[in-house]
């Protein structure tokens, strides 16, 4: 048998053979083996480590997952482990333990939508005075289901800004208000028409000026210092019945 | 079907016969005019067809506590067909890769590469496989004046006018199939699902702008990722080829990946080809719109074909990694600078009907800050790869 084809056949048979992935298995370890912590939505499973959005009208379950330095997940810590969350500022949210689930906390926002801060994971180990902290992880209170997507904000690049509007000192951005019905379809033809107005809290945060020919757009410019934070509210006057509906707050941060 | 020999430079492009422009790299990007582009060229009726590709069978070993190994194949095949149409030139392009099957859905081991979604979780320290269909595109260009032409490029999957020639197609990386660590700040958009580009160009200047779908492809690489797709991202690129040896490009983009904060991406590249020596310098930076932190990356890579049988190659990189990219938010600093140095050697061991077989080896050392020592076990991380590489050796008609 010729060596070349045999080698090639062997190689082909082994193609994509390799070592196991850290995600393929989970294991146990000592408290010292915990090198990193990632946060997940305990119900939906989505990763919240980069950004934890807290709906302002409900509590969410946050789960900490523990990892060894090599990336393997640690599901069993020798001697046990418990988790707490500390918020900064403390007024952003509170958390309660979940019976029987030491690595989960039920988190309830205590600040209005638009507030943001950080959270730190504190791990404690029963029977010892040892503790480990991980963080900070970004957290932000967001408008919950009561606005349910009736109003959404976009910039001129079509990027959605409904939850958060980053304003750059000295820059003006254009923001469009879009309205949606209960099915999620965009309302482009409102009987009788509608007029929008935008205001900020505090008032000194920014200004929103009309743009000729674009009634649902505003030119928004920061009028406060770098690092200022506040909220934006949108009021929509429906001309057919003269009713007004206000949406918000949307968090505004001046960068 | 009629086979015909075509002049070397003219084979690089798809414009009118006798009109020589710099060759396309990936998407609508330009290579230096003197860049070698080995492949098979033939004429079929009015169509001029070019086929080229690259198939590596490799063993990769990355050392350290996050190290791993894999026997696999990195590969791609590309076809490009051009014909005259309505006073201009129409071309169609298809690029495919079987890497989803040959390096698995999780990709191949590469320490410090950007983490990626994987089966509901996250996999770190691996480079993802390419899409089964990496480019499905059509392009049309036509004379505008004596010096200028205009072009339109439409891609179901393809590359917007952004960044350098993708690393797969750079002559300086012809013997190095490993993705740069800076890939995600430079040329990762080469597989965008939905691209439209308009351009104007002369023999030396190429100005173009794109709208494209900025969403990352998902981890299933065998489908077309159009769920929720929209043209939400924009880019522009200016390329100047002052001589046959140089191609210099600058680009800027606004990208909305949807799954995280939109960002701006800036890029500059200088590609140089002098005979059998090809070198690329690339700078790329991601600038998230919320923080406006500039996340720089820089790459220098070179390939020297010593005598058409022996080649040396290397790559040096500096990249700012975020804790998010390493899946280490909360455990390390927000931004982490890392470096990488790779050197390799390849020797042609055979040739059959225009396809060469090369044996190669590549060693690499990565440098990480103290922050990452806990996770990687050291501040200097090593790895190697050995491979058999099959690719066209010359222009073949």
For residue range B343-387, list pLDDT tens digits in order: 999 999 999 989 999 999 999 999 999 999 999 999 999 999 999
A104 and A129 in a single domain? The answer is yes
The more confident residue out of A157 and A224 is: A224
Walk me through the domains of chain B, giving residue ranges and CATH numbers.
10-396 (2.40.160.10)
A136 and A187 in a single domain? The answer is no
pLDDT beyond 80 at A26: no
Chain-chain contact of A159 with B329 (C-beta, under 8 angstroms): no
Cis peptide before A49 (omega within 30 of 0): no
Residue A255: per-residue pLDDT: 76
Q: Which of residues 1-30 of A touch B (CB under 8 A)?
A: 11, 14-19, 21-23
Domain membership of residue A118 (yes or no) is: yes
pLDDT per position as a tens digit, A34-80: 999 999 988 767 889 988 988 887 788 899 999 999 999 999 999 99
The more confident residue out of B166 and A13 is: B166
Residue A37 at interface with chain B, using a CB cutoff of 8 Å: yes
Chain B hits for A45, Cβ within 8 Å: 120
Q: Which of A168, A247, A44, A110 is nearest to B264 (CA)?
A: A168
Query: What burial letters (b/e) apply to B215-252, b meaning 16+ CB within 10 Å?
Result: bbbebebeeebeeebeebbbbbbebebeebbbbbbebb
Average pLDDT, chain A: 86
A99 and A59 in a single domain? The answer is yes
Taking the C-alpha atoms of residue A56 and residue B284, their distance in angstroms, rounded to an integer, is 39
Domain membership of residue A67 (yes or no) is: yes
Domain membership of residue A235 (yes or no) is: yes
H runs (alpha helix) in chain B = 99-102, 183-186, 373-376
Phi, psi (deg, nearest 5) at residue A14: -95, 0
Taking the C-alpha atoms of residue A61 and residue A45, their distance in angstroms, rounded to an integer, is 10
A80 and A172 in a single domain? The answer is no
A64 and A132 in a single domain? The answer is yes
Chain A hits for B65, Cβ within 8 Å: 69-70
Query: What burial letters (b/e) apply to B13-41, b meaning 16+ CB within 10 Å?
Result: bbbbeeebbbbbbbbbbbbbbbbbbbbbb
CATH of the domain at A162: 2.60.40.10
pLDDT beyond 90 at A99: no
On whether the CB atoms of residues B384 and B61 are closer than 8 A, the answer is: yes
pLDDT beyond 50 at B390: yes
pLDDT beyond 50 at B122: yes
pLDDT beyond 90 at B150: yes
Residue B330: per-residue pLDDT: 93
Please, is A3 exposed, middle or buried when counting C-beta atoms within 10 Å of its C-beta (0-12, 13-18, 19+)?
exposed
Please, is A59 exposed, middle or buried when counting C-beta atoms within 10 Å of its C-beta (0-12, 13-18, 19+)?
middle
Residue A72 at interface with chain B, using a CB cutoff of 8 Å: no
Taking the C-alpha atoms of residue B174 and residue B348, their distance in angstroms, rounded to an integer, is 13
Domain membership of residue A225 (yes or no) is: yes
Q: Which two tokens stand for residue A233?
A: 């509210």
Q: Which two tokens stand for residue A65?
A: 């997952």
On whether the CB atoms of residues B167 and B257 are closer than 8 A, the answer is: no
On whether the CB atoms of residues B266 and B282 are closer than 8 A, the answer is: no
A30 and A108 in a single domain? The answer is yes
> Which of B104, B120, B254 is opposite residue A157, by nearest beta carbon?
B254
Domain end among A142, A166, A196: A142
Chain A residue with the nearest C-alpha to that of B330: A135
Provide the pLDDT confidence category of residue B10 given band limits of 50, 70 and 90: very low
Domain end among A118, A142, A166: A142
Domain membership of residue A78 (yes or no) is: yes
Range of the domain at A45: 23-142
A29 and A119 in a single domain? The answer is yes
Interface A:B, Cβ pairs < 8 A: 109
Query: What burial letters (b/e) apply to A112-141, b meaning 16+ CB within 10 Å?
Result: ebbbbbbbbbebbbeeeeeebebbbbbbbb
Q: Which two tokens stand for residue A26?
A: 């989970």
Domain membership of residue A3 (yes or no) is: no
Domain membership of residue A9 (yes or no) is: no
A124 and A198 in a single domain? The answer is no
A187 and A117 in a single domain? The answer is no
Domain end among A116, A142, A168: A142
> Which of B72, B119, B330 is opposite residue A36, by nearest beta carbon?
B330
A227 and A172 in a single domain? The answer is yes
How many domains, in total, are found in chain A? Answer: 2
Residue A255 at interface with chain B, using a CB cutoff of 8 Å: yes
**What contacts A141, CB < 8 A, 6 or more positions away?**
A54, A56, A92, A93, A109, A111, A112, A113, A114, A115, A116, A251
Run of H or E including A3: helix A3-14
On whether the CB atoms of residues B277 and B291 are closer than 8 A, the answer is: no
| % chain B with pLDDT above 90 | 83
Provide the pLDDT confidence category of residue B8 given band limits of 50, 70 and 90: very low
A136 and A156 in a single domain? The answer is no
On whether the CB atoms of residues B56 and B389 are closer than 8 A, the answer is: yes
Domain membership of residue A12 (yes or no) is: no
Cis peptide before A249 (omega within 30 of 0): yes
CATH of the domain at A114: 2.60.40.1080
pLDDT, average across residues A151-167? 82
Greatest alpha-carbon pair distance for chain B in Å reads 63
> ipTM score here?
0.85
3-state secondary structure of A238: strand
pLDDT, average across residues A205-233? 89
CB atoms within 10 A of CB B316: 14
A125 and A160 in a single domain? The answer is no
């Amino acid at each position: 048998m010729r060596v070349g084809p045999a080698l090639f056949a062997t190689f082909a048979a082994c193609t994509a053979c390799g070592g196991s992935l850290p995600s393929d298995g989970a294991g146990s370890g000592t408290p010292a083996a915990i090198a990193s912590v990632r946060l997940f939505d305990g119900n939906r499973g989505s990763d919240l480590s980069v950004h934890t959005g807290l709906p302002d009208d409900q509590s969410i379950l946050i789960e900490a997952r523990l990892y060894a330095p090599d990336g393997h997940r640690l599901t069993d810590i020798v001697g046990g482990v418990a988790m707490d969350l500390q918020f900064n500022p403390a007024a952003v949210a509170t958390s309660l333990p979940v019976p029987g689930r030491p690595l989960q906390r039920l988190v309830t926002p205590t600040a209005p939508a638009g507030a943001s801060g950080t959270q730190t994971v504190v791990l404690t180990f029963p029977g010892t005075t040892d503790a480990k902290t991980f963080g900070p992880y970004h957290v932000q209170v967001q408008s919950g289901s009561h606005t349910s997507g009736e109003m959404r904000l976009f910039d001129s690049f079509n990027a959605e800004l409904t939850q958060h509007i980053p304003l750059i000192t000295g820059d003006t951005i254009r923001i469009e208000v879009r309205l949606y019905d209960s099915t999620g379809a965009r309302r482009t033809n409102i009987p009788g028409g509608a007029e929008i107005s935008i205001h900020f809290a505090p008032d000194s945060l920014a200004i929103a000026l009309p743009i000729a020919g674009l009634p649902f757009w505003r030119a928004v410019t920061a009028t406060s210092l770098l690092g200022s934070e506040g909220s934006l509210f949108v009021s929509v006057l429906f001309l057919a019945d003269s009713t007004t509906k206000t949406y918000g707050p949307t968090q505004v941060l001046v960068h | 079907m009629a086979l015909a020999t075509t002049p070397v430079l003219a084979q690089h492009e798809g414009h009118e016969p006798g009109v020589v422009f710099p060759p396309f790299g990936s998407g609508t990007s330009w290579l230096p005019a003197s860049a070698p582009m080995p492949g098979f060229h033939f004429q079929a009726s009015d169509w001029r067809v070019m086929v080229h590709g690259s198939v590596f069978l490799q063993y990769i070993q990355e050392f350290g506590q996050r190290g791993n190994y894999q026997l696999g194949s990195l590969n791609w095949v590309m076809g490009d067909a051009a014909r005259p149409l309505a006073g201009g030139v129409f071309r169609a392009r298809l690029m495919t890769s079987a890497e989803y099957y040959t390096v698995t859905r999780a990709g191949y081991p590469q320490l410090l590469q950007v983490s990626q979604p994987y089966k509901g979780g996250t996999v770190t320290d691996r480079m993802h496989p390419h899409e089964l269909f990496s480019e499905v595109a059509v392009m049309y260009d036509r004379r505008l004046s004596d010096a200028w032409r205009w072009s339109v490029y439409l891609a179901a999957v393809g590359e917007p006018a952004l960044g350098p020639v993708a690393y797969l197609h750079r002559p300086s990386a012809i013997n190095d199939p490993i993705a740069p660590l800076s890939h995600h700040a430079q040329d990762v958009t080469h597989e965008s699902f939905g691209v439209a580009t308009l351009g104007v160009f002369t023999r030396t200047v190429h100005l173009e702008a794109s709208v494209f779908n900025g969403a990352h492809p998902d981890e299933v690489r065998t489908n077309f990722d159009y769920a929720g797709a929209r043209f939400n991202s924009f880019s522009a690129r200016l390329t100047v080829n002052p001589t046959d040896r140089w191609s210099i490009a600058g680009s800027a983009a606004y990208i909305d990946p949807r799954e995280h904060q939109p960002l701006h991406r800036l890029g500059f590249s200088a590609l140089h080809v002098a005979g059998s020596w090809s070198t690329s310098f690339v700078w790329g930076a991601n600038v998230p719109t919320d923080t406006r932190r500039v996340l720089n990356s820089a790459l220098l890579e070179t390939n020297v074909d010593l005598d058409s049988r022996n080649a040396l190659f290397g790559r040096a990189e500096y990249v700012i990694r975020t804790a998010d990219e390493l899946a280490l938010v909360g455990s390390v600093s927000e931004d982490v600078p890392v470096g990488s140095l790779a050197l390799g050697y390849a020797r042609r061991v055979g040739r059959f009907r225009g396809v060469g077989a090369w044996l190669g080896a590549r060693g690499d050392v990565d440098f990480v800050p103290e922050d990452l020592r806990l996770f990687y076990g050291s501040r200097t991380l090593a790895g190697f790869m050995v491979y058999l590489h099959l690719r066209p050796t010359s222009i073949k008609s």
